[in-house]
Chain A
Amino acid sequence: MNMMSGPDDPNRARKEWLGLLAKSPAADVARLWAALDLTPAHDVLRTPEIGGVMVRGRAGAVGAAFNLGEMTLTRASVRLACGTVGHGYVQGRDREHAVQVALLDALMQTAAAGRIEAGVLAPLRAAMAGRKRSRAAKSAATKVEFFTMVRGED
């Protein structure tokens, strides 16, 4: 079961930004991170590590779980000078991406959150929505509009 994050979920906001940062292209994150021009002092708790995650599906879409195959994932963790810990989990094998996400995750829990939201998360969210919108529009254009031929006398 997916743990849907309802409006009452206290972790909803962090869940959202971590998901957005994990799924966004590494190049986009790198560009927006560089534009922020932040160099927060930090310790690396976990150096970037590339690994795999076994992706699971369900028999008949709804039944018992089975192993579909793995995907690549890179993770890293940092601690800011103020003690805030950030974790980066990103799809693919880009170490820089994982470190930047860990830093962004930590900074989002500090007073810098507003700057990160405006400078990184908002543009990433817009880019992702744009990509989805474009594919959804092309897909909608291929929707079949059935019409039935009337046969017989009247």
Chain B
Amino acid sequence: MYVAVKGGERAIDNAHAWLAEERRGDCAVAELSVAQIREQLTLAVNRVMAEGSLYDPDLAALAIKQARGDLIEAIFLIRAYRTTLPRFGGSIPIETGEMTCERRVSATFKDAPGGQVLGPTFDYTHRLLDFKLAADGAVDAASEADPDGTATPHIMSFLDREDLIQSEPQTDETPADLTRTPLELPASRALRLQSLTRGDEGFILGMAYSTQRGYARNHAFVAELRIGAVAVEMDIPEIGFAIEIGEICVTECETVNQFQGSKTEPPQFTRGYGLVFGMSERKAISMALVDRALRWKELGEDNLGAPAQDEEFVLYHSDNIQATGFLEHIKLPHYVDFQSELELVRKLRREAVETYPMQEAAE
């Protein structure tokens, strides 16, 4: 229960003014520009776009600056902005097979057609602090080589051709949208994927890790992880055909998982899928593992009672903005609620003393 409490206006104004000053920090240090954040804190920008569910690097960088680097606060700002935008429509599903891959690795096939390309990865770095970065910003130019121009088809398509992997029937149904209709259970896979891709990276990572440690283990191999640019195409009624309206960077992870077969399906591999805005491979791999765990019902597997199999648990707790809102509201005034609790405890204590006077005397 809330009761309007007045009298905080001056304190709030002053708090916000101080916040602005603290955000700026020491004025002797040069101010950070939005462009600097966009160009140099790219992975933070990517995370804000993915969980804010809006692809716009400039806005994400601005949100990070405004939020003093608190990414969940920045995601909150992006989500709030997003709700003010009129929706022009939906795109044609992006063709990740036509991605210009900047990174593409497979843990299942060494000699994958198109090759294994590391891209600008943290992998194989020694995780030692680089004090050169503190000294000056000069970097050597990256090496270049002639691109051989070989196609990079999805690695999963090779297994598909042999019928060794569960097929993924294509439909042209318009997917349900949880930003328009509240999420209801049981959720379609489309809704689960939408929910996972905008879910909190830490939460999805934790859920994915739990499956690896044995809670609904589904032993995933990363068949392919690819990062790069894809064109976004949309039908424009007044033009009369579809045009490319932009280009976005995405990370895609496809996992191959064990499957024993069922009454209707011969033994074959199954899939988990992760697709995330920006360069976000930890999130994309996590998403694929959790997607696979949530598919137990449609694949005829047993419910092992594991958290990652429980779609209510996963989907209702993965959104960090919902979680933050509910969590942090408990710091706001609950004076009346607490007053009633206080009265109740005092009353119970009085009654207890009247009922068991001897016990109190014995103590």
Given contacts A54-B177, A142-B119, A67 and B194 within 8 Å (CB-CB): yes
Interface residues of B in 82-96 (CB under 8 A from A): 82, 85-96
Interface string of A122-154 (1 = CB under 8 A from B): 000000000011111111111110100000000
Chain B interface mostly: mixed
Partner of A18, one of B90, B103, B239: B239
Residue interface bits A42-69, CB-to-B below 8 A is 1, else 0: 0000000111111111111111111111
Instruction: Find out whether the CB atom of B87 lies under 8 angstroms from the CB atom of A56.
Output: no
Is the beta-carbon distance between A136 and B147 smaller than 8 angstroms?
A: yes
The CA of A55 and the CA of B53, in the complex, are separated in Å by: 10
User: Separation in Å of the B341 CB from the closest CB of chain A?
Assistant: 42
Given B121, B173, B197, which contacts A65 in the complex, CB threshold below 8 Å?
B173
B residues in contact with A93, CB < 8 Å: 56, 58-59
Q: Which residues of B contact A65 (CB under 8 A)?
A: 93, 171-175, 190
Q: Give CA–CA (A92, B233) in the complex, Å.
A: 14
Q: Does B225 contact A (CB under 8 A)?
A: no
Q: Are A67 and B169 in contact (CB under 8 A)?
A: no
Tally of chain A residues near chain B (CB < 8 A): 57
Q: 8 Å CB contacts to A: which residues of B143-172?
A: 143-148, 154, 156-157, 168-172
- Complex Cα distance, B197 from A93, in Å, reads 24
Determine whether A36 belongs to the interface, using a CB cutoff of 8 Å to chain B.
no
User: Is A91 an interface residue when CB atoms closer than 8 A count as contact?
Assistant: yes
Question: Which residues of chain A are within 8 angstroms of B121 by Cβ–Cβ distance?
Answer: 142
Chain B residues contacting A67 (CB-CB under 8 Å) are 90, 175, 177-179, 190, 194
Q: Are A60 and B94 in contact (CB under 8 A)?
A: no
Q: Does A115 contact B (CB under 8 A)?
A: no
A140 with B145: CB separation less than 8 A: yes
Q: With contacts A15-B241, A143-B116 known, is A69 near B50, CB below 8 A?
A: yes
Residues of B within 8 A of A69 (CB): 49-50, 53-55, 197-198, 277
**Cα distance A132–B97 when bound, in Å?**
17
- A23 with B54, Cβ < 8 A, contacts A67-B177, A75-B88, A132-B100 known: no
Residues from chain B with Cβ under 8 Å of A133 in the complex: 147
B245 at interface, CB cutoff 8 A: yes
Pair B117/A71 contact, Cβ less than 8 Å: no
Contact for B148 among A15, A19, A70, A140, CB less than 8 A: A140
Contact between chains at B87 and A143 (CB < 8 Å): no
User: Which A residues, 64 to 103, have Cβ-Cβ distances below 8 Å to chain B?
Assistant: 64-73, 75, 77, 87, 89-93
On whether A56 and B50 interact (CB within 8 A), knowing A64-B190, A139-B103, the answer reads no
> What is the CA–CA distance of A78 and B246 in the complex, to the nearest angstrom?
21
Contacting residues, chain B, for A14 (C-beta < 8 A): 239
Q: Once the chains are docked, how many angstroms separate the CA of A87 from the CA of B89? A: 16
Question: Shortest beta-carbon distance, A64 to chain B, in Å?
Answer: 5
B77 located at the interface, meaning its Cβ lies under 8 Å from any Cβ of chain A in the complex: no
Q: Is B236 in contact with chain A by the CB < 8 A criterion?
A: yes
Among B36-44, B247-255, B349-357, which stretch is in contact with chain A?
B247-255
Is A22 part of the binding interface, using a Cβ–Cβ cutoff of 8 Å?
yes
Find chain A residues with CB under 8 A from B168 CB.
58-64
A1 and B94 contact, CB distance less than 8 A: no
Name the contact of B171 in the complex, choosing from A11, A63, A92 (C-beta under 8 A): A63
CB distance from A59 to the nearest CB of B (A): 6
Given A60-B273, A64-B175, A144-B115, A54-B85 contact (CB < 8 Å): no
Q: Are A143 and B94 in contact (CB under 8 A)?
A: no
Complexed CA–CA distance, A55 and B55 (Å): 9
B174 near A11 (CB under 8 angstroms)? no
Indicate if the CB atoms of B232 and A53 lie closer than 8 Å: yes
Q: Which residues of A contact B58 (CB under 8 A)?
A: 92-93
Pick from B87, B100, B101, B143: contact of A141, CB below 8 A: B143
Question: Are A139 and B147 interface neighbours, CB within 8 A?
Answer: yes
The distance in angstroms between the C-alpha atoms of A71 and B94, with both chains bound, is 13
Q: A64-B173, A90-B245 are in contact. List 9 more A-B contacts (CB 8 A).
A: A1-B170, A2-B242, A15-B244, A53-B88, A53-B234, A58-B168, A68-B275, A73-B246, A143-B118
Provide 14 A-B residue pairs closer than 8 Å at the C-beta atoms, listed in order of the A residue: A18-B243, A23-B244, A56-B90, A59-B168, A59-B189, A66-B189, A68-B277, A77-B238, A91-B232, A132-B100, A135-B102, A138-B102, A139-B119, A143-B115
